Amino acid sequence: MRNTARWATTLGLTAAAVCAPLSGAALAAPGTAPSALYAPSALVLTVGHGDSATTVAPERAVTLTCAPAPSGTHPAPGAACAEMNRLGGDLGALTMREGVFCTKQYDPVLVTVDGVWQGQRVSYERIFSNACVMSAHGSSVFAF
């Protein structure tokens, strides 16, 4: 049941993030070319405590839209989009920042990211050993 609710929430937020940024260019009259084309970049990020995606209920969820401009419910969409651009959308390329020291306390945190990045489907899931380690990997992206 929890997994079903998680996916329903994620799908609903993804639909809202992808559909919300419609602009005048996207709503141009038939037969007219939009003034600017861009590949969609809209993501839903969730975080919850636990070590299994099938049992973790999201504690927080945000949307992040990076095209045509940074927006969404993410508290720092500009910085998060800049980091995503630097990574080319590859969240697996995030590494722990140097100079950050975290305790070895095991309090697993699950992060999921689903949506579209520059027109390509994105589905990312990772379990970090604790919140400090999570924050050290995605300073802007995971700061919500």
Residue by residue, DSSP assigns 60-74 as EEEEEEEESS-BSSS
The domains found in the chain, sorted by start residue, are 2-20+38-137 (3.30.350.10)
Percent of the chain with pLDDT over 90: 51
pLDDT digits (tens, 9 = 90+) for 58-109: 999 999 999 889 999 999 999 999 999 999 999 999 888 888 899 999 999 9
pLDDT digits (tens, 9 = 90+) for 95-109: 888 888 999 999 999
pTM: 0.72
Question: Does residue 6 sit in helix, strand or coil?
Answer: helix
Given this model, what pLDDT does residue 31 score?
47
Assess whether pLDDT exceeds 80 at residue 20: no
Assess whether pLDDT exceeds 50 at residue 139: yes
Q: 73 is written with which tokens?
A: 């419910």
Given this model, what pLDDT does residue 12 score?
52
Percent of the chain with pLDDT over 70: 75
Distance CA 140, CA 83 (A): 7
Distance CA 137, CA 116 (A): 21
Distance CA 97, CA 77 (A): 20
